[in-house]
Amino acid sequence: MKFFVDTAEIDAIAELNELGIVDGVTTNPSLIKKSGRDILEVTREIADLVDGPVSAEVVATEADAMIAEGRKLATIAENIAIKLPLTWDGLKACKTLSSEGHMINVTLCFSANQALLAAKAGATFISPFIGRLDDINLDGMQLIADIRQIYDNYGFETEILAASIRTVNHVSEAARIGADVMTAPPEVIRKLAQHPLTDKGLDQFLKDAEAAGIRIV
């Protein structure tokens, strides 16, 4: 499973990237707003920092304007994935921009039918929003499973990018089902390394080492 970081905070991306676990970055207007920086400036800095896809989202709602914005975003760097909403106009823009050879991340997916349309339109990534479905008492993981089955049935190459991940259980469940990619905030990725038994075991090891007078250097 590929790990994308869902943030526009450069320091957080750099820290995780140093560990070699960052395969890409996803941003959106809300995350850019949090960073307090210009969208083109921060996106360019992120794209220079990581080797994998960096999703940069359009803000237009009509197909022609989305296409124009997408082409502009694609000039930032070769690893830009143009992020488009899963609307009818977004699908039109996806078809045009993907036909031009651009990477496309179709976002705000909440149904298997939407995911099917995105794949047909040439999306590189489809981003089903797990957490937001859970928020309204629907099963976000079931959507991942449904999309996985449909894509496998017909050999679609669109990668399933599990998004709106809120917990470490979301990550492991998405991996078990077969999502190709997950994107999560830095704090969720850091929590993947945590377990109370690891902490307990390490504490005991250190106490025993101190009692035995063990020194390595």
- List the domain boundaries for the chain: 2-192
Catalytic center residues:
83
Q: What is the pLDDT along the chain (217 residues), one digit of tens a residue?
A: 999 999 999 999 999 999 999 999 999 888 888 888 888 999 999 999 999 999 999 999 999 999 999 999 999 999 999 999 999 999 999 999 999 999 999 999 999 999 999 999 999 999 999 999 999 999 999 999 999 999 999 999 999 999 999 999 999 999 999 999 999 999 999 999 999 999 999 999 999 888 888 888 8
How many CB atoms neighbour CB 197 within 10 A? 7
How far from 119 is each of 122, 135, 155, CA to CA, in Å?
Answer: 5, 26, 10
Taking phi over 0 as left and psi of -120 to 50 as alpha, with beta for the rest, 20 belongs to left
Reduced to 3 states (helix: H, G, I; strand: E, B; else coil), residue 50 is coil
CATH T-level assignment (fold) for domain 2-192: TIM Barrel (3.20.20)
Q: How far apart are CA 4 and CA 185, in angstroms?
A: 9
Q: How far apart are CA 139 and CA 144, in angstroms?
A: 9
Q: How far apart are CA 185 and CA 144, in angstroms?
A: 19
Q: Write phi, then psi, for 173 (nearest 5 degrees).
A: -65, -40
Identify the bridge partners of residue 162 per DSSP, sorted by sequence position. Answer: 182
Pairing mode, if any, of strands 181-184 and 2-6?
Answer: parallel
Pairing mode, if any, of strands 2-6 and 80-85?
Answer: unpaired
Q: How far apart are CA 214 and CA 51, in angstroms?
A: 42
